[in-house]
Structure 1
Amino acid sequence: MNKSPFILIVDDNRMNRLVLSKQLSSLEIPISECEDGQQAIDAIKESTFQHIIVLLDLNMPVMDGYKFLLYLRDNKVEFTGKQIEVIVVSASEYAVFKERKLDVEIVAYLQKVVSKVMLIDAIELAIGKFDFDGI
């Protein structure tokens, strides 16, 4: 298992994924992209990385961000040996997210359009939550 952090951008809009990737290119952290929550779950399961930061859009086809978060919460055993930290990156207001009362943990909620500084600050917060000595 690879112990360095890994970023997974999950957004159905290709341009949004491209913008986020460019903003993070200076971090020298491997980045991958998915178009929906189901692709993200499959990518996480197949990943050799232990420490995964998910930049998650909420409104997507197939499996939206809300269902993705609930899947992570309810199926922890499927992700044994991996630490997954989620940063929501959405056009929706935070109040809309909170109304759902999902009972899930996220590192940060960033409303689009996200500045590079805010994005990197959130990534650093997520990295700070990882246990690099072991899972």
Structure 2
Amino acid sequence: MANALNILLIEDDAIEVMKFNRVLSNLEINHKIIEANNGEEALEVLKDRSIIPDIIVLDLNMPKLNGIEFLRILKDDPVLKYIPSIVLTTSSNHSDLLECYKIGIAGYLIKPLKYDDYLVRIKKLIEYWSTNELIEQ
């Protein structure tokens, strides 16, 4: 059975945020999305331990604190390090991919150019995590 997710979306591009929200609004389950424009904002959101997201979806290329810097801080936290973090980025740079997996991400998706492809990827991502045993615990 699928669960509604609390999703922390860390993305500085307003169009990308709208696309993500649009995909989720078309799903049968009403997932809650908490938005942050960059890594610094996301850390502020995560300071409030009453709101711990089920998953984090983040971009790498952001101002102030980029995705990799954010992930390093997140994975150093004894409580927050267990939140599955999925990178959703335009970067196909192999060194970015390797660095993210070394840090401990749960997945790495490259944003497709065509909306239909984006829709399929995000839908699969959300369907997987909404039925994952880790989240059900």
User: TM-score with structure 1 length normalisation?
Assistant: 0.79
RMSD: 2.5
Counterpart residue number, 2:134? 130
Number of equivalent positions: 128
Using the TM superposition, name which of 25-34 and 122-131 deviates more: 122-131
| Identity over aligned pairs, percent | 27
Q: Which residue of structure 1 lines up, in the alignment, with residue 64 of structure 2?
A: 62
The residue that corresponds to 1:7 in the other structure is: 7
Does structure 2 retain, via aligned residues, the 8 Å contact 1:93–1:111?
A: yes
Larger strand percent? 1
Residue by residue over 1:67-114, the C-alpha shift from the partner in whole angstroms, topping out at 9 and shown as x without a partner, is 11101111224x38xx51111110100513135366222222111136
Counterpart in the other structure of 2:104: 105
Partner deviation per Cα, 1:25-53 (whole Å, 9 max, x = no partner) = 12311112110011112212325344421
Task: Quote the residue 2:23 is aligned against.
Answer: 23
Q: In structure 1, what is the Cα distance between the partners aligned to 2:101 and 2:76?
A: 11
TM-score by length of 2: 0.78
Say whether the 8 Å CA contact 1:11–1:35 is kept in structure 2. Answer: yes
1:118 is aligned to 2:121: yes
Structure 2 unmatched runs, 5+: none
Query: What aligned pairs does 1:27-66 form with structure 2 within 5 A after superposition?
Result: 27-46=29-48, 48-66=50-68
